[in-house]
Structure 1
């Protein structure tokens, strides 16, 4: 791996993507199109700007318009979309954008990658699911942008936060609370299994994912299954419009412990949604730790952490009102102990 000064000088370099394919560049890229939903916020964090992003996924555009990222980088609310939920690239649109590189899933088959490579684009294939995979993204983005020192700095910070959060929840190790993650589907809900990043942040925060042993990817979840699991905490995906109020109003779920105890919470939306791996993931670890252990509020200092993190990642001074929006204070206000996030 070239160091950042070498890359910045215009020297050529080679990136090995998560397919194991080597892609050579003459120098740092100037124009990036990416079909991968969380990647623009991560690229911006590594780059310190949004200047090199020319194409994004439709879901990313929605998040940019709904959350604070569009305030941080107004151009992100108008960026051309190059793919939708199926990740099939719109090659004609991408040709018009003239990207130096296209970032795409490397494990979803030829339908999403072959059209791009056949059109002559340099394609970086990424894979998803673990902290290690996400850290590789940050390293690759550092290479592409000539910002390798910056990517190393971000990874060192993540590793420090990992240790800090695990230490924070260690006194509660003997009692791991049962956590259920729910995402709205056309005919009910889906959840996240042991291979999903949800399990990673649940574990760091001192909980256990009740669906960790299911083998299917994003399995459907019935009311009967939720009742059988009887989770102590339910976390609602940031990818849809479901709210804690919706769950509390559902009479079929009235006997679930999390519902009885008013421990249903909507996942925050910061520079990006906090459920999947992203540069703000250390904030998600701390948020879940405090959800599971409200007594940690004064030691966790999440609002200060959010302020410091937005400055670190985006060079932005987030306000108290914006922090409320990120944490969805209004939406989560009637859930147990959520007032602790005002401290």
Structure 2
């Protein structure tokens, strides 16, 4: 880390630049996650005279003043909005899945009000327009590529709708820029993106330092009603797998979220299996499935539950750099005890949310209990 992590608090503009360079001091990083009310008001004035946002449908949405009430049907967006804003105060409506994550993970500790936020959509993302009307948001965040049925009801009711698309690092960075504009915190948004670029470069450098000729074969699994699904090369899973020095064994499947049978798992024979944070599947249950006893990842005890931080780490979010580091250390076990992921967690949560993690909170995020029986995971205790 940069020596600037050890410096005294600096003026807000300097801290924001330092965050982009991975250089916010723990002592002063709370400035990033929890601005004073005066600073928040001053930044919000950036949109006071009116501004325009171009969403990922290419549609321009005009706002006449600051945005104070946001409803979002998109599952990962509330944690990203909170990271950009340093607050949950402007979020009035969320997806049911987000509410579940808020109640199960640490986000509800960071922002207790998030555990009681009204829900405006479920797994199908179809908006509950009646609820949205009651909430009276200044804007609704919705998927821009799921068809008119998820957007038209909102626009027909008179709401401004920002349509977003998902899947790549570049698209996530666009989200951060959109949220920075909406919240009047463009500089903060740019700092977050710069920080991500530097963290990606650092992870690539770390992986390149390992003496390994071939990438580690990795299988990402998410439970489905009739078994398992995975993710192909169009999904964000592929991004962080390759960044961390792995190869996604499902990358060339014909569909974005292919069904995966036991027979297919055995044919792929991955060296590492990563279980999604979206469902209750655990390594212990995976090891206990006799059908999978011949799988290399089972024989070598290399099945892991993906962490749940301010949001689930599988999809793109502001904590994605932590997922990159975690995955790199899973794929290269010798790194787990040498690269301080716990310290990175502490720094990142202070920077993003203005929260100083306890040891127990860090243990919970990393699922030390669920992953206790998996090879090398004790390295994350230090």
Q: Does 1:24 align with 2:62?
A: yes
Q: Is the Cα–Cα contact under 8 Å of residues 337 and 380 in structure 2 kept in the other structure?
A: no
Are 2:222 and 2:278, in contact at CA under 8 Å, matched by a contact in 1?
Answer: yes
How far apart in 1 are the matches of 2:174 and 2:319?
Answer: 15
Q: What CA distance in whole angstroms lies between the structure 2 residues aligned with 1:308 and 1:315?
A: 9
Correspondence list, 1:109-148, <5 A: 109-148=147-186
| 1:89-137 deviation per Cα after TM superposition (whole angstroms, max 9, x unaligned) | 0001000000000000000001100101111100000000000000000
Give the alignment of 1:216-295 within 5 angstroms: 216-295=255-334
Three-state SS of the structure 2 residue aligned to 1:56 is strand
Q: Which residue of 1 aligns with 2:373?
A: 334
Instruction: Name the counterpart of 1:200.
Output: 239
Which SS does the other structure have where 1:20 is aligned? coil
Task: Map 1:76-225 to 2 at 5 A.
Answer: 76-172=114-210, 174-225=213-264
Q: Which runs of 5+ in 2 are unaligned?
A: 1-41
The range that moved more, 6-15 or 44-53, is 6-15
Aligned to 1:303: 342
Deviation at 1:175, TM superposition (A): 1.9
Relative to structure 2, which stretch is displaced further, 121-130 or 299-308?
Answer: 299-308
Please tell me whether the aligned partners of residues 192 and 217 of structure 1 are also in contact (alpha carbons under 8 angstroms).
yes
CA distance in 2, matches of 1:39, 1:191: 22
Query: Which whole-Å CA distance do the structure 2 matches of 1:159 and 1:7 have between them?
Result: 29
TM-score by length of 2: 0.88
Contact 1:7 1:143 in 2 (8 A): no
1:315 to 354, 364, 372: 354
TM-score by length of 1: 0.97
CA distance 1:250–1:310, shift in 2 (3 Å): same
Task: Tell me by how many angstroms 1:300 deviates.
Answer: 2.0
Q: Cα RMSD (Å) of the superposition?
A: 1.1
**Shift in Å at residue 297 of structure 1?**
2.4
CA distance in 1, matches of 2:252, 2:260: 13
1:9 Cα deviation (Å)? 6.0
Runs of 5+ unmatched residues, structure 1? none
The corresponding residue for 2:34 is none
Structure 1 position 265, deviation (Å)? 0.2
Q: How does 1:50-69 map to 2 (within 5 A)?
A: 50-69=88-107
| C-alpha distance in 1 between matches for 2:152 and 2:132 | 14
Q: What is the distance in 1 between the residues matched to 2:338 and 2:292?
A: 33
